[in-house]
Amino acid sequence: MTIPRDVERRAAELRKQIEHHNYLYYVLDSPEIPDAEYDRMLRELQHLEDEFPALVIPESPTQRVGAQPLKQFNEVRHELPMLSLGNAFNPDEVADFDRRARERLGEDEIEYAAEPKLDGLAISLLYENGVLMRGATRGDGTWGEDVTQNVRTIESIPLRLLGSGYPAVLEVRGEAIMARAGFELLNARQRDKGEKTFVNPRNAAAGSLRQLDPRITAARPLQFYCYGPGRIDGGTVPGRHSELLARLREWGLRINEESAVVHGAQGCLDYYARLAAKRDALAYDIDGVVYKVNRADQQRALGFVSRAPRWAIAHKFPAQEEMTRLLDIDVQVGRTGALTPVARLESVFVGGVTVSNATLHNQDEIERLDVRKGDTVVVRRAGDVIPEVVSVVKEKRRRGARRFRMPTHCPVCGSEVVRLEGEAAARCTGGLFCAAQRKQAIRHFVSRRAMDVDGLGEKLVEQLVDSGLVRNVSDVYRISQQQFAALERMGETSAANLVAALEKSKSTTFGRFIFALGIRQVGETTAHTLAAHFGTLDALMAADDEQLQQAPDVGPIVAQSICTFFAQPHNREVIENLRASGVHWPAETPAVTRGSVLAGKSFVLTGTLESMTRDAAKAALIARGAKVTASVSKKTDYVVIGENPGSKLDKAQQLEVPTLDETGLLKLLER
């Protein structure tokens, strides 16, 4: 069947447009048309090709997923071997690398191209006359696997190069990766289907590319970043690595947006610091940075040593995952009685620190991991996140390793452990009889935003509870200076200071006092709201469910929790004892009855105040019946502006919300 000329032309035009928009979307990350429009063009092309099958060419955007599943991958030979990189683990090793290069080249300072070291797998793409002919894995560097039909499904890999001027044979190399968000999504999908999940994005990327059925690969969120050239024939490319990358981007390949040109070892180290600070905010995992001598002539002069170039080096970040042995699983009891299983580990250096404990979260997580005492486990510590066990190396499990069971009774006080419907945590039912909960409750009680007792740290609280001196929070006010002085690591002076700090803390505010009680569901803001609403402790303790829910932002769950707390005779007793010890606060007239000018008004605070902290200002406003919220909206009554205000000031001006300076605020508070 002959193809009408206008159909042929239309198909060519559609391909060009689709390729262009594909490039804008996947390579430059700046789409210009809505997805629906893109889909419409693709459908129109598909339609034409269905009608005139002779129109179909392999590099057509409709042909990304086409081929049948393979029986096995063919081997391909890399005519130019795919090398690896030497590693530097500290600034000295980077300086050595730079010095060696300078000496060999006889230069004072070297220009480097610096790039993230992406954590995926190396891929070679071969373009002949601009058409993608082959995609291959690195393999052993000389022999890799032909994964052409899989790489074709990755949208950031052009099936045909854009523009013109590319060499007749252009091989490029780069990293196939999976972004963290895509990885999470894939694992969630795998879990839903009851299929195996992946340990990390790199494994997921590798597993996805090594699928014999390209339809599976197509459904995996893979991306490709090009980081350099391979074989080049029949044409020339720019003489600087950075310019070559820029040219490859024009030809349609995705180049990492963090790439930069830097000068000398110091330039490299500054780049490293910059990227290290950004590491957790990137959308994908990187395990270091790579420095490459930028000038191609200098690269040639430096050449190779064994399997790695002398002109490039990888500067590794501290690993965020390491293997170690799980010695035991302990169970910790928190303030609310929640039982947290904690892995005791053989110490291991990971994420820049030595780790010997990692959280196992809860029973469900332990079952998901199937982690057992004695197992070899992978521990992860990324950024400021607490270390966690991410997987178990099952092959290394010893025979007879037994499953872990959450205890049915509290390991500290022996009370029954329950797990409520819909809750992840199992809890000790011992309440304040449980020493672990008591310790946490006391630490909370004396903390800065609660009773603010200086000098009563963790170790001291442990001693006080373990020695039986303190059974509940009210006991801390009954301990004499002599008793404190007799404790470990306490001298006369510290004991005297502590007694003074305790004395000082007795003069507090109602809001702080409520917060200090540690009622479940009652955080700092709710505590201050309750104080403002009810005004007196007696009113609060007498309030029923319905009255509680009339306070701003108190719903049924919070109300229930407050009722339950005050219904316990031992809690009432503790409160009486606290009052008897002299804990007091200025009387508050509840906002509702006082007719405070601030009652019901909504405030936003921004910038630094001179005469008080923002927390104090917030508490003062709440105590007068006002609400303090985090962001400015049309409903905001005032925005209080301190030194160096943030974008909230702009927002206030934009929405024409009245602003107040510190003096204005103080006047309002005095009224």
Q: Which is nearer to ligand IVH, 291 or 565 (CB)?
A: 291
> H or E stretch including 206?
helix 201-209
CA distances to 132, 206, 207, 443 from 139, rounded to whole Å, are: 20, 12, 14, 56
Q: Which stretch binds ligand IVH (CB under 6 A): 77-85, 188-196, 373-381, 490-498?
A: 77-85
Nearer to ligand IVH, 118 or 465 (CB): 118
Would you list the DSSP string of 244-269?
Answer: HHHHHHHTT--B-TT-EEEEHHHHHH
Q: Which of residues 510-539 bind ligand IVH (CB under 6 A)?
A: none
Distance CA 84, CA 309 (A): 8
Among 17, 84, 521, 536, binds ligand IVH (CB under 6 A): 84
Cβ distance 288 to 315 under 8 Å?
yes
Residue number, 84 or 266, with CB nearest to ligand IVH: 84
Residue with smallest beta-carbon separation from ligand IVH: 122
Q: At what angle do helices 180-192 and 201-209 cross, to 10 degrees?
A: 70
We find the least distance from the C-beta atom of residue 155 to ligand IVH, in angstroms, to be: 20
Distances from the Cα of 555 to the Cα of 28, 91, 266, 541, 562, angstroms: 48, 55, 57, 17, 11
Among 147, 170, 176, 290, binds ligand IVH (CB under 6 A): 290
117 is catalytic: yes
| 315 contributes a contact to ligand IVH by CB under 6 A | no
**Is 175 an interacting residue with respect to ligand IVH (CB under 6 A)?**
yes
Could you give the maximum distance between any two Cα atoms of the chain, in Å?
105
Cβ contact 486:586 at 8 Å: no
Residue 271 or 515 with smaller CB distance to ligand IVH: 271
Residue 145 found at the interface with ligand IVH (CB under 6 A): no
From CA 350, how far away is CA 383, in angstroms rounded? 11
* Binding span for ligand IVH by CB under 6 A among 82-90, 423-431, 466-474, 478-486: 82-90
Residue 85 in contact with ligand IVH, rule: CB under 6 A: yes
Residue 83 or 669 with smaller CB distance to ligand IVH = 83
Minimum Å gap between C-beta 276 and ligand IVH is 15
Structural contact between residues 167 and 236, judged by C-beta atoms closer than 8 angstroms = yes
The residue (of 88 and 392) whose beta carbon lies closer to ligand IVH is 88
C-beta closer to ligand IVH: residue 85 or 378: 85
Candidates 80-88, 103-111, 150-158, 268-276 — which segment interacts with ligand IVH by CB under 6 A? 80-88
**DSSP string of 73-130?**
PPEEE-SS-----EEE-SHHHHHHHHHHHHHHHT-SS-EEEEEEEESSEEEEEEEETT
Told to check if 623 binds ligand IVH by CB under 6 A, we report: no
- Residue length, the chain? 671
Applying CB under 6 A, does 316 fall inside the site for ligand IVH?
A: no
Q: Does residue 83 interact with ligand IVH by CB under 6 A?
A: yes
Residue listed under structure tokens 């917030």: 618
Q: Which stretch binds ligand IVH (CB under 6 A): 127-135, 237-245, 306-314, 474-482?
A: 306-314
Q: Which stretch binds ligand IVH (CB under 6 A): 13-21, 83-91, 384-392, 526-534?
A: 83-91
What is the closest distance, in whole angstroms, from the C-beta atom of residue 84 to ligand IVH in the complex?
4
Which residue, 117 or 627, has its beta carbon nearer to ligand IVH? 117
Select from 73, 166, 198, 227 the one that contacts ligand IVH (CB under 6 A). 227
CB 605 within 8 A of CB 642: yes
Collapse the DSSP code of 171 into the 3-class scheme (helix H, G, I; strand E, B; otherwise coil) and give the result: strand
Q: CB–CB of 299/311 below 8 Å?
A: yes
DSSP state of 270: H
Binding residue count for ligand IVH, defined by CB under 6 A: 15
The full DSSP string for 609-660 is: -SSS-HHHHHHHHHHTT-EE-SS--TT--EEEE-BS--HHHHHHHHHT--EE
| Active-site residue (options: 117, 439, 618, 648) | 117
Among residues 264, 309, 407, 455, the one that binds ligand IVH under rule CB under 6 A: 309
Quick check: 81 binds ligand IVH (CB under 6 A)?
A: no
Per-residue x/- mask for ligand IVH, residues 103 to 122, rule CB under 6 A? Answer: ------------x-xx---x
SS3 letters for 509-535?
CHHHHHHHCCCCCCCHHHHHHHHHHHC
Please state, as a whole number, how many other Cβ atoms lie within 10 Å of the Cβ of residue 345: 21
DSSP H/E element including 36: helix 35-51
Nearer to ligand IVH among residue 88 and residue 290 (C-beta): 290
Residues that bind ligand IVH (CB under 6 A): 83-85, 115, 117-118, 122, 138, 175, 227-228, 290, 309, 312, 314
Point out the residues that are catalytic. Answer: 117
